[in-house]
A = this chain, B = another copy of it.
Amino acid sequence: MQIIDGKKIAEEIKGEIREAVDKMCARNLKPPHLAAVLVGHDGGSETYVAQKVKSCEQVGFRSSLIRYEEDVTEAALLRCIARLNIDTDIDGFIVQLPLPGHINERAIIEAIAPAKDVDGFHPENAGRMAIGLPCHVSATPAGIMELFRRCRIDTQGKHCVVLGRSNIVGKPISILMSQKSQPGDATVTLCHSRTRNLADITRQADIIIAAMGQPDFLTADMVKDGVVVIDVGTTRIPSTDTRSGWKLKGDVKFDEVAPKCSYITPVPGGVGPMTIVSLLRNTLQAAEQRNRP
């Protein structure tokens, strides 16, 4: 059994991105510039955005943080996006989700220019991904694919069971895993809350990608020996072990499932670090596009 060290792999990739940025600068080109729009003061969102800004610094990107109070209007946010869309100094930007209830998240996402949508949430990027065209693939699915690539996990012809059909993880990863590519080319079953006899299905899986957001959902009796398990769950649960008073919990009952696995990702330190790296890669890609003659 091998625990996939997402943190270490993410650091390796950051090193490669740093090299690419250095080469850009050596050619007198501006380094990539990522902007993040943050509304309100939600603890989780603050943490995520701070991590993204810090990661930008580590790889030599420029970064900008644009803050709005909780009561910002949708119109003001849309004007901000319109400015970022035409700002030639910004290569890519994200609007940290979730947004306050009075703002239509869909309208915000669709207002972002697809070329600058480094989160890959715009329908045009989702569609290009589904068709297999070049695009910004959304960060978590792209990070999972990169884990398979770096760990040289063979996926071709394998039965991959995806748990959860969210637009940002379950659906896109099921599409990527079934596409004619390496990694990919797997037979994919997408399961969700309406799935019957779930354990019968997961027990047939060579690869399980758990993205339901239900702590400790996948138990040892639900998997076969030698399975590859990717845990995308990141539920915050109260904890006396940490200074913050909470810790992240995955969808997999790690202690009992891990011994049966050939590979497994831990939470934290598995998929999470890869997500931010994917965002950096998308931003680098956008900057390279800008620099193309």
Contacts and interface: CB of A to CB of B under 8 A. Distances in A.
Interface of A: 106, 122-133, 135, 156-157, 159, 165, 167, 171-172, 174-175, 178-180, 185-192, 194-196, 201
Given A130-B175, A174-B190, 11 more contacts: A122-B127, A124-B127, A127-B128, A127-B129, A130-B130, A130-B171, A132-B167, A159-B196, A171-B178, A180-B194, A185-B194
Contacts of A126: 126-128, 130-131
Nearest to A109: B131
19 contacts: A122-B127, A123-B124, A123-B128, A123-B130, A123-B133, A126-B126, A127-B127, A157-B196, A165-B178, A165-B179, A175-B175, A180-B194, A185-B194, A187-B189, A187-B190, A187-B192, A187-B195, A188-B190, A189-B190
A177 to B, nearest CB: 9
Given A156-B194, A180-B165, A194-B185, A127 B123 contact: yes
A67 B129 CA distance: 32
Given A124-B127, A127-B124, A130-B171, A191 B201 contact: no
A130 to B, nearest CB: 5
Contacts of A180: 165, 192, 194
Q: Is the interface of A mostly helix, strand, loop or mixed?
A: mixed
Contacts of A195: 157, 187
Contacts of A194: 156-157, 180, 185-187
Contacts of A192: 178, 180, 187
Nearest to A198: B187
- In this complex, the member of A122, A127, A175, A179 whose beta carbon has the largest number of chain B beta carbons within 10 angstroms is A127
Nearest to A196: B157
Nearest to A179: B165
B133 A106 contact: yes
A156 B196 CA distance: 10
A187 B191 contact: yes
A188 B187 contact: no
A174 to B, nearest CB: 8
A206 to B, nearest CB: 10
Contacts of A156: 194
